[in-house]
Amino acid sequence: MNPDLEHRLQAWVDGELDASSAQEMESLVARDPEARALGDNLRLLRGFLQEHEPVRALPETQDFYWSGIRRGIEAEERADRGRESSDPSRETGGRAWWSWVWPAAAAALVLVVISLFPGREGGTAGDLATSSGASSSAKAPAVVPVVGHEIEAPEADGMETVTFYSSQESMTVVWLAHADVL
């Protein structure tokens, strides 16, 4: 069987052929045992792989993972603000006051929703702050622990830090990227 035929047979198995080409393949499979075996094998393998897609667990905790995302978002937003302030053609008067209303309303709504689930007093997902300042979520009094949280982080120049608090483990973590300590 030549490669073109193999590929067309595969396309037939995958439902990628139009009606007339599919008809041709059906005829081929009916008269050619090798083609039929190949078609069966391709179908079997496809089903087998789809049924057993490898599952890979994220090797980081939610705290760490989210802190990286949050840091990236904040860095991009800082870069945006820098670009805006250096571009005189852009509107300089700031956004209209009402542009803040929706985020505030949304945050208030979420707070209300959260208050409906009092069973969890502060898991690990959001007790975060980065070195660029405490996150808005970290200021929520209902979940930020009274003790042990960051007070000030004047880290050395050029050192990237991520700070977060795990209330489950009563642990404040300061992660230092690129630090040469050992």
Partner 1 sequence: MNTRLFLESLVGMAVLALAARGAVGAEPEGTRLAAQLLWGTNGEKPAGKELKPVEGELDRRLRRVFKWKSYFEIERKAFATPVGKPTKVDMSKECRLEVLNVSGDEFEIQLFGKGVLVVKKRQRIVAGETVVLGGDDKNDNAWFVVLGMAKPGDPARP
Partner 2 sequence: MSVPEHQPEIPDDALVTLAKAGDMVAFETLVGRHREKIYARAYSIVHNEQEAVDLSQEAWIKAWRRLAQFEGDSSFTTWLTRITINLCLDHLRRNQRHRVEPLPDSKDDPEALDRILPPVWVNPTERMEREEVRKRIDEAMARLSEAHRTVLVLHEFERMEYKHIAETLGISIGTVMSRLFYARRRMATLLAGWKRESEEEES
> What does the binding site for partner 1 look like in residue numbers (CB under 8 A)?
59-61, 63-64, 124, 147-156, 159, 161, 166, 168-182
Which stretch, 19-27, 84-92, 113-121, 155-163, contacts partner 2 (CB under 8 A)?
Answer: 113-121
Secondary structure of 4-21 in the HEC alphabet?
Answer: HHHHHHHHHHCCCCCHHH
Which structure tokens are listed for 9? 């047979």
Among 140, 153, 173, 176, binds partner 2 (CB under 8 A): 140
Among residues 173, 161, 162, 121, which one has the least CA distance to residue 144? Answer: 121
Residue 56's binding partner among partner 2, partner 1, none (Cβ under 5 to 8 angstroms by kind) is: partner 2
Q: Which is nearer to partner 2, 8 or 131 (CB)?
A: 8
Shortest distance (Å) from residue 70 CB to partner 1: 17
CA distance 2 to 112: 65
- The site partner of 105 among partner 2, partner 1, none (C-beta below 5 to 8 Å per kind) is partner 2
């439902």: which residue's tokens? 15
Cα distance between residue 158 and residue 175, in whole Å: 14
**What is the C-alpha to C-alpha distance for residues 47 and 50, in angstroms, rounded to an integer?**
5
* E strand or H helix that includes residue 174: strand 171-177
Which of partner 1, partner 2, none interacts with 82 (beta carbon under 5 to 8 A by kind)? none
7 binds partner 2 per the rule CB under 8 A: yes
Among 132, 137, 161, 172, binds partner 2 (CB under 8 A): 137
10 binds partner 2 (CB under 8 A): yes
